[in-house]
Amino acid sequence: MKKEEIKFEYESYNDISELDEADAKLVQAARDVTAKAYAPYSNFLVGAAAKLANGEVVMGTNQENASFPVGICAERSLLATAAMLHTNVPIDTLAVSYHNLNGDSSKPVSPCGMCRQALREYEDRTQQPIRLILSGRDGKIIVLEKSTLLLPMSFGGDDMK
């Protein structure tokens, strides 16, 4: 038997003021767009903003549905919009934030498992890693160089060949 481990590094910032201007602008856009989320059941408003390789910015929000789990997360809402409006254009950086109407919103939010898989697929499709910036409405911010770090040993198209 051989024990192996998976590790990854990420950057951690105390707050938005420590980010460079472009990243701070994207985080603020993700924070602002939470106001357009539709989350009457969870009161957990999530917003995502992405800068594409062509310079365009695309946004998405979570959209809940009384017939759970029919809703869609902000990240997948954004990916679908980007794929439709800017087919095959890679995403350089994607920022995710949230506003928890029931409590604290100061810890970085991380994509759910389904969104992690969708991010991996988008990276595969465009052949470019997606840099992630994870935040709340304020406080600590985490930056990962590629979204696939959140889904080690993942399943993808190459596994079906």
Domain borders along the chain are 11-149
Note if 75 is an active site residue. Answer: yes
DSSP the chain: ----------EEESSGGGS-HHHHHHHHHHHHHGGG-B-TTT-EEEEEEEEETTS-EEEEE-B--SSTT--B-HHHHHHHHHHHHSTTPPEEEEEEEEEETTS---SPP---HHHHHHHHHHHHHHTS--EEEE--SSS-EEEES-GGGGSTT---GGGG-
In the set 75, 121, 123, 145, the catalytic residue is 75
> pLDDT tens-digit profile of 43-62?
999 999 999 999 999 999 99
> How high is the pLDDT of residue 32?
98
Report the topology of domain 11-149: Cytidine Deaminase; domain 2 (3.40.140)
* pLDDT of amino acid 105: 97
**Residue 69: is its pLDDT beyond 90?**
no
Q: What pLDDT, on the 0 to 100 scale, is given for residue 26?
A: 98
- Mean pLDDT, residues 3-23 taken together: 96
- Model confidence pLDDT, tens digit, residues 82-133: 999 999 999 999 999 999 999 999 999 999 999 999 999 999 999 999 999 9
pLDDT, position 76: 98
Q: What is the pTM of this model?
A: 0.95
pLDDT for position 158: 86
What is the pLDDT of the chain when averaged over all its residues? 96
7-16: average pLDDT: 96
pLDDT band at 156 (very low <50, low <70, confident <90, very high): confident
